[in-house]
Chain A
Amino acid sequence: MSDTPLAAVVAPPPHDRPLPEAVRLLARRHRPRSYEAIPWLVAIAGYFAFPDYLQLGAQVFIAILFALATDLILGYGGVITLGQAAFFGSGAYVCGIVSAHGWTEPLTLVVIGAAAAALVGLVSGFVVLRTSGLTQLMLTLIVAVMLGEAANKATSVTGGANGLQGMVISPILGIFDFDLYGQTAYIYCLVLLFLGWLAVRIIVYSPFGRTLTGIRESEARMHAIGSPVFRRRLTAYVISAALCGVAGALLAETTSLVALDALSFERSGAVVIMLIIGGLGRLYGAFLGVPIYMILQDRFAQADPTYWYFWIGIFLLAIVLFARGGILGLIERAARLVRK
């Protein structure tokens, strides 16, 4: 056996036998599954079932896109971040400022917002991704806080604490105007969420996405198999930032307003909590975590207007202690039990 050169061992064997089960499992993993249609069917049904809540629905889609983009870097890339609002806010502000200066075509504004956020991701990623652990966490936080303070000070450009005024958004494709009931906003945000999800899904199942998971699982081993870890992470960071920027630009367009809270720490923190509730690194955690968080926030705020955050905290503790992997993790475990 020791006479066989290594190249002969890892060369593909003749195709005369059925594929081993393990190989077939991996080869099929990226195929679409029926349950993946559920969120989209729910969203389409929601359009007809709740005509009075379409504006809110659009905001939920934006939050899901933001969470999905964050999952790429946090759940898959293993980068600990509390500063994703930096990218969300950059997308929102740049989109809003350009719009207020006279360029009002919504799709190009989204691209501009995404590009701006990607640039922030590229520049900050160069520093943030050279560190790890607590240092990394603090750096992501600092980037967002600095941008927030810059937006607060630069009142002539951003409107400061009063928020950015004077945004004008043209109809989408020159046809669909943003209406009072949010019909256009709902469908527009849903379509862009779908495209964003498609992009993340393709990336997650690509070899690049698998190496991200590898980096999360063991950075030392990725170095040892010759992976350019820093470059991979930076690429993911920029893609994540661009998608966060899309979400921010959508918020600006659908509300015709950008306020300082687009860059706030609360936004960075909430998106991480949403993902932990739904399930990190699972592609669908965002779809569960965001609505659950929003419903809880609504209920707790009604029941206890002063201390609702406390109850969110209790809920989060319960998830972390008893349901690692979030709601999706629970579902996965239940499914495994049923199958056995």
Chain B
Amino acid sequence: MSDIAAALETRGLERSFGALRVTRHVDFRLEPGARHALIGPNGAGKTTFINLVTGALTPSAGTILLGGADVTALAQEQRVKRGLGRTFQINTLFRGLSVLENVCLSIGEHRGLAGGLFRPAGSHRDVLLAAYALLERLRLADDASRLVRELPYGRQRLVEIAVALGLEPTVLLLDEPAAGVPSAESGIIVDVIESLPADLALLIIEHDMDLVFRLARRITVLDQGAILVEGTPQEIAADSRVREVYLGERGGR
């Protein structure tokens, strides 16, 4: 283990639903600035792992550390305050609000302004401008005033990332960032992910192997709730156990 604190780390993470162990002793380390993918067949426990890390689920045992600090006992929103951002596999946005306001909500929350009762939200011009700058960077500025629900699904996927970036996270969990987008249109999403700041630690949960091998510099394979193997894309591609899980009899697909 290196001396620098990991951006995100789990130690002996366990989660059971009754007799079913869906997360089995996961020791996972996400380095600062990492481009790390988490893959595995259906039912491998990827979603449970994400929910444990974000705080949507409580682990049965084990520890979760963010930037070296133990956050296992912290609620979801406190983990966000400590730099943990996420996107959703299925668009989870403020559909009836404009793209710009979607991002304003997360920036306002991040800057601790969101509880304010008296000053109009629109008078926080720095928030508006920051949100707009973020949209420009993600090539969404032209759609800033449009309602999210009026956007094509692929554009909405970009808003997912924009809202998460408004939190200025140090760790960003991308839950199947290109899910539901035809592969012809997923290119822009890949471009955006590749252009994310180098100091941001990315954990990408993904089914699409092309995407994984394009984006990730490290890959962890989950199978039946446990880490099967971890390594560089080349190592994973060459690993016989991974092939067995994905292609063999036990594989889900």
A209 within 8 A of B: yes
Q: Is the CB of B123 within 8 A of A218?
A: no
**CA A20 – CA B131 in complex, angstroms?**
11
Given contacts A28-B122, A228-B77, contact A10 B107 (CB under 8 A): yes
B residues 186-220 touching A (CB-CB < 8 Å)? 194-200
Number of interchain pairs (Cβ within 8 Å): 172
Residues of A within 8 A of B86 (CB): 224
B26 within 8 A of A: no
Stretch touching chain A among B5-13, B60-68, B110-118, B223-231: B110-118
Residues of B within 8 A of A217 (CB): 93-97
Main secondary structure of the interface of A (DSSP, over half): helix
Given contacts A207-B108, A211-B109, contact A30 B94 (CB under 8 A): no
A223 within 8 A of B: yes
Q: Is the CB of A225 within 8 A of B117?
A: no
Q: Is the CB of A1 within 8 A of B109?
A: no
**CA A110 – CA B245 in complex, angstroms?**
69
Given contacts A26-B98, A27-B128, A29-B122, contact A206 B163 (CB under 8 A): no
B144 within 8 A of A: yes
Stretch touching chain A among B150-158, B165-173, B233-241: B165-173
Q: Is the CB of B117 within 8 A of A218?
A: no
**CA A26 – CA B105 in complex, angstroms?**
12
A7 within 8 A of B: yes
Q: Is the CB of B95 within 8 A of A27?
A: no
**CA A278 – CA B218 in complex, angstroms?**
56
**CA A6 – CA B202 in complex, angstroms?**
13
Closest chain B CB from A324 CB (angstroms): 12
Residues of A within 8 A of B98 (CB): 22, 26
Q: Is the CB of A227 within 8 A of B118?
A: no
Partner of A23, one of B132, B169, B194: B132
Closest chain B CB from A15 CB (angstroms): 9
Closest chain B CB from A159 CB (angstroms): 38
B145 within 8 A of A: yes
**CA A1 – CA B191 in complex, angstroms?**
11
Q: Is the CB of A10 within 8 A of B133?
A: yes
Q: Is the CB of B109 within 8 A of A226?
A: yes
A11 within 8 A of B: yes
**CA A12 – CA B166 in complex, angstroms?**
13
Residues of A within 8 A of B167 (CB): 225-226
Q: Is the CB of A30 within 8 A of B110?
A: no
Q: Is the CB of B108 within 8 A of A210?
A: yes
Closest chain A CB from B215 CB (angstroms): 12
Q: Is the CB of B198 within 8 A of A3?
A: yes
Mask of B71-112 contacts with A, CB within 8 angstroms, 1/0:
000001111110001101000111111101100111111100
Residues of A within 8 A of B197 (CB): 2-6, 9
Q: Is the CB of B120 within 8 A of A206?
A: yes
Q: Is the CB of B124 within 8 A of A22?
A: no
A174 within 8 A of B: no
Q: Is the CB of A207 within 8 A of B101?
A: no
**CA A229 – CA B97 in complex, angstroms?**
18
Residues of B within 8 A of A209 (CB): 117, 121
Question: Could you list 30 examples of A-B contacts with CB < 8 Å?
Answer: A2-B195, A3-B197, A6-B168, A6-B197, A9-B134, A9-B197, A11-B130, A20-B132, A22-B100, A23-B100, A26-B101, A26-B128, A27-B125, A29-B120, A29-B122, A30-B121, A202-B118, A203-B117, A210-B121, A211-B114, A214-B97, A217-B97, A218-B95, A224-B54, A224-B85, A224-B86, A225-B105, A225-B110, A226-B76, A227-B114
Query: What is the interface of chain B, defined by CB distance below 8 A to chain A?
Result: 54, 56, 76-81, 85-86, 88, 92-98, 100-101, 104-110, 113-126, 128-134, 137, 141, 144-145, 163-169, 194-200
Beyond A223-B76, A226-B77, 8 extra complex contacts between A and B, CB < 8 Å? A5-B199, A6-B200, A11-B130, A19-B129, A23-B129, A208-B116, A208-B117, A226-B81
